[in-house]
Amino acid sequence: MTSRRRKLTGYAFIAPVLLFLGAVVLFPLGHAFWTSLLRVRGLTTRFAGLANYATVLGDGAFWHSLWLSFAFTALSVSLHMVLGLALALLLDELRTARTALRIAFLTPWMVAPAVGATIWLWLLEPQFGVVNYLLQATHLASAPVAWLGEPLTAFLSVVAVDVWRGVPFVMLLMLAGLQTVPPEQYEAAAMDGASVWQRFRFVTWPNLRYLLVVASTLDAINTIRHYDIIGVMTAGGPAGATEVLPVLLYNTAFRANRFGEAAAIGVLLLVVVLALAAFYIRLTRIDRDGAAR
Amino acid sequence: MHPVRATVLAVTLAFAAPALAQQPIVLQWQTANLTESQYEPIWKKTIAEFEAANPGIKVEPVLVARKDHWTKFVAAAQAKKAPCIVTVDLTTAAYNGYLMPLDKYFNAEPAAFRDAWSADILSAAKWKGELYGLPIWGGTYGEIYNRDLVVKAGLDPAHPPKTVDEYVAWGRKLTGDDHWMLAVLGGKTDTTTRVLLTWIWANGGEAFNKDMTEATFAKDPKSLAAIKQYLGFAAKGGIAAPSPTTTNYLEQTNLFAQGKIASMRNAYWSVAKVLGDNPALKGRMFATPIPANVSNAPTLSSVAASSISSSCEHPDAAWKFIKFDADKKWSIERAVVANWMPLRNDLADDPAIKADPLLAEFVKMGQHARSYPLPHPAWAGIAANDIVDAVQKALLAPDKTEEIFRDLDARLTKKLRDI
């Protein structure tokens, strides 16, 4: 087979995937970018150049949402990692009920985000919610707490629900990572009289560090795009306290009916996600090159 | 043509033609209310009887939760695949090109049919002089009280508050450690806006100028005073339930059904919702006009009109269904079973309507009401987003209420003019 023919055969094999990706990724992206350049009023559109970007970037709501998105992502991802790792270490040490606990911890991850958010919405309901009932019954609160009614508690509540849902996946990754740590290293540490903390610090941590960085980068890419939990629980309220970029995008498109501006927000959000993705690719490339050397 | 081919074609057509002829027209029908249990028996019956009377047409209900209704409609309308028959924010949808003008259908109907709607009610279904929907049902906002709680507080249900001051005086007596006079609405839907407007109008204020080109929430002193007073009820030690920023129709009716609040400003349909939550309240509620500081203060009456989406392939059949659904029979059933007020002007004296004192009271209140949604193409977004955000901000920082609503005025005025 000639080199040209071999090349063509290769292209023929990847053509279906390219076509599929073009249809489900490139076309929507291109369409979104094109929409961001239009003034859309229902079915009437006209070219507006960069006017939508100027409007969005000149609006304090966008910068507020951007800041919130970073804060939400940073807090959620940190907690996913810390709690996910802690649970993985706990499960790794357990000798009994390990499978049952693993399934139990995974349950939140198996629940559809919108369903989980709705459950929490009712658990946190100020007058009839179970959380306030328990807090008052145990005298931890003297009056009902308006969890989703005050900016700070609303923000922390949506972070908490995201953590509830996001930790199991990280736990699973870390558990898999822990299985790859060579047992000889633990044996050697034990022979040297290392404490539990020292074993973690000098054996587990170095072995998991790369996995943690990769997992947190992927988790950040995933979390910064989150809509469902916040959309269901607060719709961005109260007074914009939880209006992260995807929620702002939704509210601009479907509540304010400004599709051009919403598309511009989407493109700007994509830039943020691409920056995180570039970081991830760089990380994996460093690792691959390192492994090759 | 070759005889064999001709025979095959003839046989094929002979079998296929009846099948094609029997293909019914399928009309999708989407409103925000098809998922409400109080309405379910009626719409199922309406569809069944319509399909029996029109064998060539099938009606397929699109069941969407209220809060997703507009989103789903807009997404479908953008794709030119919107359900044929819809009930949506009419002006916004008409401006955006999502609806079809219905004048040619309406004008072709006999005078007896056309006269069933007053010019005022029809104007609520018009945009730029064209009719985009047939008003089917409505909801006038009044003050609904829990009679038992009122009596228990030593108040007389026969003499309900007529002014806002009297309302506040009642409120003090009806508020305790774990129960309140009312719930201030601040949740993220346009119900928050509807109730706010009733408070503004009850104080003689205006939220917008006449031609809807300027917002006057803070500019109009009476409007601002009403806003401050109403939102102030939710302050600590006030007469309203806590957590107003998450309270909406659902939470408000829950609180009322559980006896946590003694009154709710709502439409007649909320009575059905409350009875669904707590049947023991049957016959224990009474309604009054909204307490006001000015005489003849209007209340708010939402008008739900059935429209035909611009992408509908069978508008004739869709109009047939709308006409069927607008019939007296269904209007009365909707009023009696689902508590939705009829908008036809030939039903006010109907014995079935008069037999229900609560419904009769709402019908009376409706005679002095302003129709809602307000007629502006950006209204859907303004009502559910901007005004609600301002209400939430003011609830969280009451001392900045004036500043917040001045910002709202500026923001809205810009939006109102940007069409």
- Please report the DSSP string for B242-292 in residue order: S-GGG--HHHHHHHHHTTSBSEEEE-THHHHHHHHH-GGGTT-EEEEPPP-
What is the pLDDT confidence band of residue A41, given thresholds at 50, 70 and 90?
confident
Return the bridge partners of B359, or none.
none
The residue of chain B with its CA nearest to that of A121 is B246
Q: Does A235 touch chain B (CB under 8 A)?
A: yes
Q: What is the mean pLDDT of residues A204-226?
A: 90
What is the pLDDT confidence band of residue B368, given thresholds at 50, 70 and 90?
confident
Q: Which residues contact A88 (CB under 8 A, 6 or more apart)?
A: A170, A171, A172, A173, A174, A175, A177, A178
Interface of A with B in 167-196 (CB under 8 A): none
* Per-residue pLDDT tens digits for A99-150: 888 888 888 988 999 999 999 999 998 888 899 999 999 999 888 888 998 9
pLDDT of residue B124: 87
pLDDT of residue A293: 46
Q: Which residues contact B11 (CB under 8 A, 6 or more apart)?
A: none
Q: Does B241 touch chain A (CB under 8 A)?
A: yes
Q: Does B97 touch chain A (CB under 8 A)?
A: yes
The residue of chain B with its CA nearest to that of A233 is B246
Q: Is A45 in a helix, a strand, or coil?
A: strand
What is the pLDDT confidence band of residue B21, given thresholds at 50, 70 and 90?
low
Q: At what angle do helices A205-224 and A151-179 cross, to 10 degrees?
A: 140
What is the pLDDT confidence band of residue A38, given thresholds at 50, 70 and 90?
very high
Query: Among A43, A128, A143, whose Cβ lies nearest the Cβ of B97?
Result: A43
CB contact under 8 A, A239 and B260: no
pLDDT of residue B386: 93
- Torsional sign, CA A10, A12, A13, A17: positive
CB contact under 8 A, B96 and A236: no
Please answer whether residues B200 and B227 qualify as being in contact, where contact means their C-beta atoms are separated by less than 8 angstroms.
yes
CATH topology for the A59-292 domain: MetI-like fold (1.10.3720)
Enclosing H/E stretch for A42:
none
Nearest to A231 by CA among A251, A256, A257: A251
Residue B148 has pLDDT above 60, yes or no: yes
Q: What's the rounded Cα separation, in Å, for the pair A222 and A225?
A: 6
CB contact under 8 A, A257 and B385: no
pLDDT of residue B22: 64
Task: Provide the H-helix boundaries in B265-400.
Answer: 269-277, 315-325, 328-333, 351-354, 357-365, 379-381, 387-396
Q: What's the rounded Cα separation, in Å, for the pair B383 and B396?
A: 19
Q: Does B147 touch chain A (CB under 8 A)?
A: no
Place of tokens 């000098």: A202
A9-18, B200-209, B334-343, B405-414, range with the lowest pLDDT: B334-343
What is the pLDDT confidence band of residue B17, given thresholds at 50, 70 and 90?
low
The residue of chain B with its CA nearest to that of A255 is B381
The whole-chain average pLDDT of chain B stands at 90
Please answer whether residues A91 and A179 qualify as being in contact, where contact means their C-beta atoms are separated by less than 8 angstroms.
no
Check if the interface score ipTM surpasses 0.85. no
CB contact under 8 A, A126 and B396: no
Q: Does B138 touch chain A (CB under 8 A)?
A: no
Enclosing H/E stretch for A28:
helix A27-35
Q: What's the rounded Cα separation, in Å, for the pair B333 and A85?
A: 60
Q: What is the mean pLDDT of residues A153-165?
A: 95
The residue of chain B with its CA nearest to that of A41 is B96
A34-43, A74-83, A151-160, range with the lowest pLDDT: A34-43
CB contact under 8 A, A255 and B385: yes
Question: What would the two tokens of residue B158 be?
Answer: 């026969």
* Dihedral, CA of residue B87, residue B89, residue B90 and residue B93, to nearest 10: -100
Q: Does A44 touch chain B (CB under 8 A)?
A: yes
What is the pLDDT confidence band of residue B9, given thresholds at 50, 70 and 90?
low
Q: Does A146 touch chain B (CB under 8 A)?
A: yes
Q: Which residues of A touch B71 (CB under 8 A)?
A: 254
Residue A292 has pLDDT above 60, yes or no: no
How many CB atoms within 10 Å of residue B8? 11
The whole-chain average pLDDT of chain A stands at 90
Q: Does B71 touch chain A (CB under 8 A)?
A: yes
Kindly list the domain boundaries of chain A, sorted by start residue: 59-292
What is the pLDDT confidence band of residue B222, given thresholds at 50, 70 and 90?
very high
Domains parsed from chain B with CATH numbers: 18-138+302-363 (3.40.190.10), 142-300+375-417 (3.40.190.10)
Return the bridge partners of B140, or none.
B301
What is the pLDDT confidence band of residue B223, given thresholds at 50, 70 and 90?
very high
Q: Does A255 touch chain B (CB under 8 A)?
A: yes
Interface test with B, best of A44, A118, A127, A157 (most B CBs within 10 A): A127
Q: What is the mean pLDDT of residues B220-244?
A: 94
* Per-residue pLDDT tens digits for B293-343: 998 899 998 899 999 999 999 999 999 999 999 999 999 998 888 888 888
Peptide bond into B41 cis (omega under 30): no
pLDDT of residue A246: 95
Nearest to B272 by CA among B326, B335, B327: B335
What is the pLDDT confidence band of residue B349, given thresholds at 50, 70 and 90?
confident
Which amino acid, one-letter code, is at A56?
A: V
Read off the DSSP letter of residue B340: P
Q: Which residues of A touch B244 (CB under 8 A)?
A: 149
What is the pLDDT confidence band of residue B358, given thresholds at 50, 70 and 90?
confident
Query: Among A128, A235, A259, whose Cβ lies nearest the Cβ of B188?
Result: A235
Q: What is the mean pLDDT of residues A87-94?
A: 89
Q: Checking DSSP bridges between strand B299-308 and strand B134-140, what pairing results, if any?
A: antiparallel
Q: Which residues of B touch A146 (CB under 8 A)?
A: 242-243, 245-246
CB contact under 8 A, B392 and A238: yes
How many CB atoms within 10 Å of residue A94? 13
pLDDT of residue A79: 96
Q: Does A208 touch chain B (CB under 8 A)?
A: no
Residue A96 has pLDDT above 90, yes or no: no
Between A76 and A281, the more confident residue is A76
pLDDT of residue B8: 58
CB contact under 8 A, A151 and B70: no
Q: What's the rounded Cα separation, in Å, for the pair B253 and B249?
A: 6
Q: What's the rounded Cα separation, in Å, for the pair B191 and A104?
A: 40
Query: Among B96, B378, B381, whose Cβ lies nearest the Cβ of A43?
Result: B96
* Per-residue pLDDT tens digits for A42-58: 888 899 999 999 999 99
Place of tokens 């049947």: B279
Question: What would the two tokens of residue A220 be?
Answer: 């950040």
Interface test with B, best of A64, A124, A257, A259 (most B CBs within 10 A): A257
* Per-residue pLDDT tens digits for B277-291: 999 999 999 999 999
Nearest to B247 by CA among A125, A133, A153, A117: A125
What is the pLDDT confidence band of residue B2, given thresholds at 50, 70 and 90?
low
> Cβ-count burial of A101 within 10 angstroms (0-12 exposed, 13-18 middle, 19+ buried)?
middle
